């Protein structure tokens, strides 16, 4: 059965809690009024999705279409702005305070129960094999054109894996694993609300991304982590190929497919995170600022 957004939010809050939640606690977690909480609990109880303050097996089954089933990591690039450290090491495998950058994302996936993990690799591809010691379930996709096309070429390789799937830029240093969540009501993109930014950002209306651009005011700064539901994942399977094969297609970034060139086919929500949740280390100078071990 399809859930309303309010039913979904209440059910997920109850499912993720380790103990029974009071209606006051549900009010705080969901932002809904007590009246709304009462109404939704009544609906969920009547439908057999909750019983005595706990989610039933039927309730868990009703959340299954909304569950993140896999993760795809875009990790084929060279990381030129991180030279000299990337001359011998792919950027996702660079260690920050002793831990590989990509491990912060992989650990969050494992914690969220996502065990189907794919990494699209290219530059120094064989070095990613070291991840198998800690994450033996990883599967690799090798991108033979990583050095002559933008990251849309990696999305083309993984196009059949994008339904109910996270897509990660693999060079993000995650400090709050809780932002990688098990359940999603719709396709969404993580972003940070900003008064002003010079970075890639979104124009958002009523919670839906309307435009992607570089720099802006009162916008949402893009974080390279998105989730795609079953329907949108199937659309992406065709659309990434169409854009890639179109004029100038090799120069595109993969997320421009649903957000720019084929945006009429998608309704992508923005999902808020905070500045301190995640860091994109763009340059070697920034790496040295974060980890003084490199400042020699």
Q: CB–CB of 228/162 below 8 Å?
A: yes
Examine the pLDDT at 85 and tell me if it is beyond 90.
no
Q: Give the SS3 label for residue 281.
A: coil
List 90's β-bridge partners, or say none.
none
pLDDT of residue 207: 95
Q: How far is CA 234 from CA 1, 113, 120, 185, 191, in A?
A: 21, 22, 19, 16, 24
Instruction: Annotate 238-252 with three-state secondary structure.
Output: HHHHHHHCCCCHHHC
Average pLDDT over residues 74-90: 89
How high does pLDDT run on average in the chain? 94
For 80, residues 6+ apart whose C-beta sits below 8 A from its C-beta are 86
DSSP secondary structure letter of residue 21: -
Q: Give the SS3 label for residue 226.
A: strand
Examine the pLDDT at 280 and tell me if it is beyond 90.
no
Angle, CA 124 vertex, CA 122 and CA 128 arms, to 5°: 85
pLDDT of residue 20: 83
pTM for the predicted model, two decimal places = 0.94
d(CA 66, CA 80): 37
Examine the pLDDT at 1 and tell me if it is beyond 70.
no
Does residue 154 or residue 84 have the better pLDDT? 154
pLDDT of residue 281: 87
Average pLDDT over residues 105-122: 97
Domains of the chain with CATH codes: 5-65 (1.10.10.10), 67-294 (3.90.550.10)
Examine the pLDDT at 86 and tell me if it is beyond 90.
no
pLDDT per residue over 215-261, tens digit each? 999 999 999 999 999 999 999 999 999 999 999 999 999 999 999 99
d(CA 244, CA 167): 18
Average pLDDT over residues 28-40: 92
Average pLDDT over residues 83-102: 93
Q: b/e for 235-252, b at 16 or more Cβ within 10 A? A: bbbebbbebbeeeebeeb
pLDDT of residue 129: 98
Q: b/e for 75-106, b at 16 or more Cβ within 10 A? A: bbbbbeebeeebeebbbbbbebeeebbbbbbb
pLDDT of residue 18: 72
pLDDT per residue over 155-213, tens digit each? 999 999 999 999 999 999 999 999 999 999 999 999 999 999 999 999 999 999 999 99
List 76's β-bridge partners, or say none.
none
Q: b/e for 121-154, b at 16 or more Cβ within 10 A? A: bbbebeebeebeeebeebebbebeebeebbbbbb
Average pLDDT over residues 97-105: 96
Q: CB–CB of 191/270 below 8 Å?
A: yes
Per cent of the chain over pLDDT 90 is 85
């Amino acid at each position: 059965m399809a859930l309303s957004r309010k039913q979904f939010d209440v059910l997920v809050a109850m499912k993720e809690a380790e103990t029974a939640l009071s209606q006051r606690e549900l009010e705080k977690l969901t932002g809904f009024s007590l009246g709304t909480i009462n109404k939704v609990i009544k609906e969920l109880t009547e439908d057999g999705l909750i019983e005595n303050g706990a989610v039933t097996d039927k309730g868990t089954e009703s959340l299954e279409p909304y569950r993140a089933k896999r993760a795809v990591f875009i990790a084929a690039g060279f990381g030129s702005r991180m030279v000299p450290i990337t001359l011998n090491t792919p950027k996702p495998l660079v260690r920050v305070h002793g831990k590989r950058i990509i491990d912060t994302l992989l650990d969050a996936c494992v914690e969220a129960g996502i065990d189907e993990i794919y990494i699209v690799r290219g530059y120094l591809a064989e070095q990613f094999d070291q991840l198998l010691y800690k994450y033996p379930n990883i599967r690799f996709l090798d991108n033979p054109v990583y050095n002559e096309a933008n990251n849309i070429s990696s999305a083309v390789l993984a196009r059949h894996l994008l339904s109910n799937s996270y897509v990660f830029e693999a060079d993000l240093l995650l400090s709050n694993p809780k932002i990688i969540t098990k359940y999603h009501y719709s396709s969404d993109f993580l972003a940070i609300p900003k008064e002003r930014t010079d970075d890639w950002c979104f124009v958002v209306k009523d919670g839906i991304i309307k435009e992607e651009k570089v720099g802006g005011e009162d916008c949402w700064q893009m974080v390279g982590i998105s989730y795609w539901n079953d329907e949108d994942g199937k659309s992406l399977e065709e659309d990434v190929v169409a854009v890639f094969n179109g004029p100038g297609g090799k120069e595109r970034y993969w997320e421009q497919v649903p957000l720019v060139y084929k945006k009429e086919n998608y309704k992508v929500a923005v999902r808020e995170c905070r500045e301190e949740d995640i860091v994109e280390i763009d340059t070697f100078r920034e790496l040295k600022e974060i980890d003084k071990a490199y400042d020699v």
